[in-house]
Amino acid sequence: MSGRRPVTMDYATQSPFSDPGRHSDWLDGTPADFAALRDIASGLVFHHWGNGDPTDHGFAPSRFPEIDLRYAEAMLGRLRELNPSLAAERRPTERILGCCRDFTLLYVTLLRHHHIPARSRVGFGNYLVPGWHLDHVVAEVWDGSRWRLVDPQFAAANPLPLDVLHVPRDRFLVAADAWCALRSGTLDPATVVVSPDLSEPFLRGLPYARHNLALDLAALTKHEMILWDIWGSMNLDPAVSDTDALRADSVAAIDPDDSAALRAAFDSPDFRIPPVIRTLSPTTRTLTEVPLPPASPA
C-alpha cells in the first residue's frame, strides 16, 4: 500500500455520512488516539445478527429499523438518547442495532473529528469464520507514515487470531484485491459470501465481489453507503456479464490514493450515486427506493 499521505482527497474531514452534525460537541471529550477511539467505537453498536436474535438480548422488534440508519448524526443522536455518556460501558440495549459498516462509520467519524485521516474499506475478512471470506467493513487509518487496516467491531479482548489495530492485508481483502484474486483463480468463489448460510447466488462469489467493489469505490470517495444499497450497474443477477467483469477489472486496478482516477470512476454512469437508490434492507426484505442528496466529489 502506498506510503504517501492523501493530498487531494481529504480523509481528515467529515463526509455527509460521517458528519456528527449537532452531536459534534458530544465527541469533544474523546481522545485524539486511534487505538482509544477504536475501543469507544467497538462499544456503540450491537450486531444485528452476529449474536443471534436481538430480541434474545432485550431488543424490541420496534428497534430493528436502526440497522438502516444511514448517517452518523442520526446514529449518535440515538446513542445519546440511550445513554448520555459516550465513554460509558454500554449494555447491549444501550447500543444501536447495526453491522460492521456502522462500527466503521462511527469510528471514522471519531477519527475525522480529531482530524486523523481515515476511510472506510469494504471487502472480505477471512478471520471471522474459519474457511470463509465474509463480507466485512473495516477502517483504514493514516498512522503518520502509512495506511493501516483497523477493525473497530470487536472489543480489545477478543479471540480473533490477529491484531485488530493492524489487520494484515491477506486477512482482510479490500474489494479490489478480492475481485482480482477471484478473476485470477487464486481465490475460491465458493468461500466468498455475505454469510455461509445465505445461499442466494447474488450474495456469493463474483457477483457479490462486484457489489462490494462499487461500495468500496464509493467509500474511497467519501460516500459511506449501507451494504445493502443498490445503484448504477449494481444488480441482483446471479452472474456477472463479461462486459461488467471487464469494467470491474478496470476499477479494481485503480490505485486507492489516485484521487483523480477514483473521482473519474465514481462519476461514471455505472458507479455514480443517483438522487434515488434502491436498498434491500434486512428489516423489510424487499427492494425499496430511498432518496439521497445528489452525490458530489469529496
Question: Contact, 54 vs 61, CB < 8 A?
Answer: no
Q: 167-218, pLDDT tens digit by residue?
A: 999 999 999 999 999 999 999 999 999 999 999 999 999 999 999 999 999 9
Residue 83 DSSP label:
-
Angle, CA 124 vertex, CA 122 and CA 52 arms, to 5°? 100
Phi, psi dihedral angles at 247 (to 5 degrees):
-65, -40
Q: Is the pLDDT of residue 109 over 50?
A: yes
Distance CA 58, CA 38 (A): 25
Tell me the DSSP string of 99-132: -HHHHHHHHHHHHHHTT--EEEEEEEESSSSTT-
pLDDT of residue 233: 93
Q: 18-72, pLDDT tens digit by residue?
A: 999 999 999 999 999 999 999 999 999 999 999 899 999 999 999 999 999 999 9
Q: What is the mean pLDDT of residues 104-131?
A: 98
Within a 10 A sphere around the Cβ of 249, how many other Cβ atoms? Answer: 14
* Domain positions in the chain: 21-291
pLDDT of residue 7: 45
Q: What is the mean pLDDT of residues 277-287?
A: 92
